[in-house]
């Protein structure tokens, strides 16, 4: 009886050790998407009055959690009954990541001055503000759904050879990190300027540490958001390139003489450019709405 109990404990310890190892690997693999998710949601939650930023972010967070609840069971069923489909979905996700990365670069060079943030102004009525707010929340949740699918599938791809129990625990932990971790950091980012302003008001002199810290937080906010956007774009291309290199046989030997990170970036960018050109060509062929 005692030996059976200790054997059970040993099995649990082994499982937890495997889970910890695979979670670390999965988190590293999905870091690029998490970075992009962070940048996207920081942008989505900004542009509102300070009193509405956290309620908007909370609404998006709840939508993100519902997205995970929908996606996770479907992903586990696919892994259990059609495991080969995981690679197919992974490659499709890689195409989307590559396209999005290339599109971000295209937008930077050709539509740099277009502002996509909806700001609350005095010229907008309360009813219109509510409508705009709901529209932006809906857009953010849809974007989160797409990114969540990518995160879950990439995480699942790293443990697809493991037993189903390990898959469920590891991918669920990664999904939880993707929600709690990302939106927790976003909440801090969107309120950086408010925290900085409070510190400035509490400071006794302009030369104090508190005053300089508050000023630094206010000045750092736009740079943090821009940096996240750049890092997220690079990560999209690196992750997508890595997906193709590891799952498409003939790409294993492409550019073998250069560092792996540079090879992933080049392949990701190349695939992204092709996807972008295809999408642009399709849009040109479609009839324009009058």
Backbone phi, then psi, for 273, in 5-degree steps? Answer: -65, -45
Locate all alpha helices (DSSP H) within 30-83, ordered by sequence. Answer: 31-44, 50-81
Which of 31, 175, 150 lies closest to 96, judged by CA? 150
Q: How far apart are CA 250 and CA 42, in angstroms?
A: 38
DSSP code for 123: T
What distances in angstroms separate CA 181 from CA 27, 133, 185, 186, one per listed residue? 12, 23, 6, 9
> Average pLDDT, stretch 260-271?
90
- Rg (the chain; Cα; Å): 22
> Average pLDDT, stretch 232-238?
80
For residues 143 and 44, is the Cβ–Cβ distance under 8 A? Answer: yes
Q: Is the pLDDT of residue 192 over 70?
A: yes
Q: Who has greater pLDDT, 13 or 35? A: 35
For residues 216 and 196, is the Cβ–Cβ distance under 8 A? Answer: yes
Q: Is the pLDDT of residue 15 over 80?
A: no
Q: In the numeric block, which tokens belong to residue 208?
A: 């104090």
Q: What is the pLDDT of residues 39-81, one digit of tens each?
A: 666 666 665 666 677 787 788 888 888 988 898 888 888 877 8
Q: How far apart are CA 248 and CA 245, in angstroms?
A: 6
Which pLDDT score is estimated for 118?
44
Q: Is the pLDDT of residue 129 over 80?
A: no
> Average pLDDT, stretch 116-141?
66
The residue extents of the domains of the chain are: 2-285
Q: What is the mean pLDDT of the chain?
A: 75
Q: How far is CA 122 from the centre of its chain?
A: 33
> Average pLDDT, stretch 98-117?
74
pTM over 0.95: no
Q: How far apart are CA 21 and CA 221, in angstroms?
A: 34
Q: Who has greater pLDDT, 122 or 181? A: 181
């Amino acid at each position: 009886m005692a030996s059976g109990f200790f054997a059970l404990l040993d099995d649990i310890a082994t499982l937890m050790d495997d889970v910890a190892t695979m979670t670390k690997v999965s988190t590293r693999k999905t870091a690029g998407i998490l970075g992009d998710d962070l940048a996207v949601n920081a942008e989505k939650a900004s542009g509102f009055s300070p009193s509405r930023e956290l309620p908007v972010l909370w609404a998006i967070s709840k939508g993100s959690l519902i997205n995970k609840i929908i996606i996770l069971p479907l992903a586990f069923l696919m892994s259990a009954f059609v495991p080969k489909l995981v690679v197919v979905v992974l490659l499709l996700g890689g195409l989307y990541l590559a396209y999005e990365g290339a599109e971000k670069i295209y937008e930077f060079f050709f539509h740099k001055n277009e502002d996509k943030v909806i700001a609350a102004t005095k010229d907008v009525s309360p009813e219109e503000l509510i409508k705009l707010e709901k529209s932006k929340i809906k857009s953010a949740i849809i974007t989160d759904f797409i990114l969540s699918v990518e995160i879950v599938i990439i995480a699942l791809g790293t443990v697809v050879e493991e037993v189903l129990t390990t898959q469920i625990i590891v991918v669920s932990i990664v999904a939880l990190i993707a929600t709690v971790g990302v939106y927790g950091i976003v909440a801090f980012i969107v309120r950086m300027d408010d925290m900085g302003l409070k510190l400035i008001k509490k400071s006794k002199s302009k030369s104090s540490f508190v005053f300089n810290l508050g000023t630094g937080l206010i000045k750092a906010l736009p740079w943090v958001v821009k940096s996240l956007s750049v890092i997220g774009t690079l990560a999209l291309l690196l992750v997508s390139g890595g997906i193709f290199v590891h799952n498409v046989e003939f790409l294993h030997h492409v550019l073998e003489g250069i560092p792996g990170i540079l090879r992933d970036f080049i392949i990701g960018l190349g695939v992204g450019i092709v996807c972008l050109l295809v999408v642009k060509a399709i849009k040109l062929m479609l009839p324009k709405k009058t």
